[in-house]
Amino acid sequence: MNRDLMRQAQQMQARLAKIQEELESETVEASAGGGAITVVVTGHQKILSVVISRDVVDPEDVEMLQDLVMAAVNEGMDKAKELAANRLSAITGGMKIPGMM
């Protein structure tokens, strides 16, 4: 029985490693200001791109631009975390594993 448990643990570890690798190339997109700011984030929560529409760039209102960028980035990070959680929960059955998220 102990061998079966070890084999199951090794299989789970291999599946988790594969999902972690896949998350590196999977992306989510988020935007703010009606699409004025768009960010792309990987499943590993790395920002790949930030696109800012010229229409939203106003030297007299830098604070608005900063707020829009922050909103888009935060939404992108939330979506990336959700993507990772969904992929990992398929294997972990919703069990929280330290260091995985």
Predicted local confidence at residue 95, as pLDDT:
61
Please give the span between the terminal C-alpha atoms of the chain, in angstroms, as a whole number: 30
Element (H, E) at 83: helix 62-92
The pLDDT score that the predictor gives to residue 87 is: 87
CB 16 within 8 A of CB 88: yes
Is this structure's pTM higher than 0.95?
no
**Domains of the chain, first to last:** 2-92 (3.30.1310.10)
- Kindly state the average pLDDT of the residues 25-45: 96
- Name the strands in the sheet holding 37-42, side by side, starting at the edge strand that comes first in the sequence: 27-32, 37-42, 47-52
Task: Supply the pLDDT for residue 98.
Answer: 56
Residue 66 has pLDDT above 60, yes or no: yes
